[in-house]
């Protein structure tokens, strides 16, 4: 029997996620959006690719939450981008309102689902989702570290001339340039420490490029932002959950004491399986890296403090 995954938000990122999920062959996908016709049109287009791409799962576009019922995983990409003249607080509260509504509808129709949060600001939207749904913390997971780590690994591979498959390096912390923490202390290329392959200044350049990875793409595109890598990173998380792979992946998790952080969503290595986050791992890190995680926690708590409570 095929599994069911709902992707909320039929923009470029959401629809690319839907494509990758459908092409696994074992997932039925629902593409949910408030814009009439948008998810239906993209779902129809995706469905018509099945004969060539070779998958048999269904792709449904919907504006009705009833069609999402019984989803195993729900990926939330909903939200609006910041517009000229809009303050950070205004954007934060607009997206918090959207995520509250989406999260409420999600648990109403799929009470047993694991939720993967991609809506921005992702770290704060994880808090909104957890508070709204009252789900166990292991079933609310932020997607940020996977994407940032994918960029970090790519840049390390380019710098070292090695296959990206042999690069093992994570980005923890927050999902912003100021709060993400590309980990150098345990970064490896084929089991060889990165610090023994590159001089300090080149490592620092790679770290900075990873921090600026999303902004670099935005500056090149002029309009819009990345969607291929975000989709691929999210699908790797979803598959680890659906197939109970228990992959150790960098995800945003609700910490309660790990690394000295209390009650905050922060990117760390976790074991992802059928129950969502089955274990939060605490590998040894350099002192400045741990401090970076704690700063990320403080930053997300500050953001959460700016969110207006629902009347």
Domain with residue 109: its CATH number is 3.40.50.720
Same domain, 72 and 152: no
Same domain, 138 and 154: no
What is the span of the domain harbouring residue 296? 145-305
Same domain, 81 and 38: yes
Tell me if 310 is assigned to some domain: no
Q: Tell me, what's the pLDDT at 276?
A: 98
Q: How far is CA 286 from CA 120, 170, 259, in A?
A: 28, 14, 12
Q: Tell me, what's the pLDDT at 271?
A: 98
Can you give the CATH number for the domain in which 301 is found? Answer: 3.90.110.10
Q: Which residue has the tokens 């607080």?
A: 89
Q: Which of 142, 161, 180 is the last residue of a domain?
A: 142
Same domain, 237 and 262: yes
CA distance 235 to 215: 22
Overall number of domains in the chain: 2
Q: Which of 74, 108, 142 is the last residue of a domain?
A: 142
Contact 104, 132 (CB under 8 A): yes
pTM, full prediction: 0.96
Same domain, 163 and 129: no
Task: Give Cβ neighbours of residue 258 (< 8 Å, ≥ 6 apart).
Answer: 268, 280, 282
CA distance 145 to 268: 8
pLDDT tens, per residue, the chain with 311 residues: 899 999 999 999 999 999 999 999 999 999 999 999 999 999 999 999 999 999 999 999 999 999 999 999 999 999 887 667 767 778 899 999 999 999 999 999 999 999 999 998 999 999 999 999 999 999 999 998 999 999 999 999 999 999 999 999 999 999 999 999 999 999 999 999 999 999 999 999 999 999 999 999 999 998 889 999 999 999 999 999 999 999 999 999 999 999 999 999 999 999 999 999 999 999 999 999 999 999 999 999 999 999 987 65
Residues taking part in catalysis:
175
């Amino acid at each position: 029997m095929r599994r069911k995954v709902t992707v909320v938000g039929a923009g470029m990122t959401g629809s690319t996620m839907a494509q990758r999920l459908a092409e696994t062959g074992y997932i039925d996908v629902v593409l949910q959006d408030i814009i009439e016709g948008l998810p239906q049109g993209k779902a129809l287009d995706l469905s018509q690719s099945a004969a060539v791409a070779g998958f048999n799962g269904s792709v449904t576009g919907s504006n009705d939450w009833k069609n999402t019922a019984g989803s195993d995983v729900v990926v939330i990409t909903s939200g609006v981008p910041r517009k000229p003249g809009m303050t950070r607080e205004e954007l934060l509260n607009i997206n918090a309102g959207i995520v509250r509504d989406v999260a409420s509808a999600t648990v109403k129709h799929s009470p047993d689902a694991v939720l993967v949060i991609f809506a921005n600001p992702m770290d704060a939207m994880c808090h909104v989702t957890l508070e709204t749904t009252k789900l166990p913390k292991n079933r609310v997971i932020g997607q940020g570290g996977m994407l940032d780590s994918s960029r970090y690994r790519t840049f390390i591979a380019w710098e070292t001339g090695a296959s990206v498959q042999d690069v093992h390096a994570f980005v923890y912390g927050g999902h912003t340039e100021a709060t993400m923490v590309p980990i150098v202390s345990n970064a490896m290329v084929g089991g060889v420490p990165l610090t023994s392959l590159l001089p300090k200044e080149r490592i620092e350049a790679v770290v900075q490029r990873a921090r600026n990875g999303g902004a670099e793409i935005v500056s090149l595109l002029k309009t819009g932002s990345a969607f291929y890598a975000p989709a691929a990173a999210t699908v790797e998380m979803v598959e680890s959950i659906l197939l109970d792979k228990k992959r150790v992946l960098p995800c945003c998790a609700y910490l309660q004491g790990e690394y000295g952080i209390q009650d905050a969503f922060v990117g760390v290595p976790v074991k992802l399986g059928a129950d969502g986050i089955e274990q939060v791992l605490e590998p040894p890190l350099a002192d400045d890296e741990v401090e970076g995680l704690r700063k990320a926690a403080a930053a997300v708590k500050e953001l959460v403090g700016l969110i207006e409570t629902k009347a």
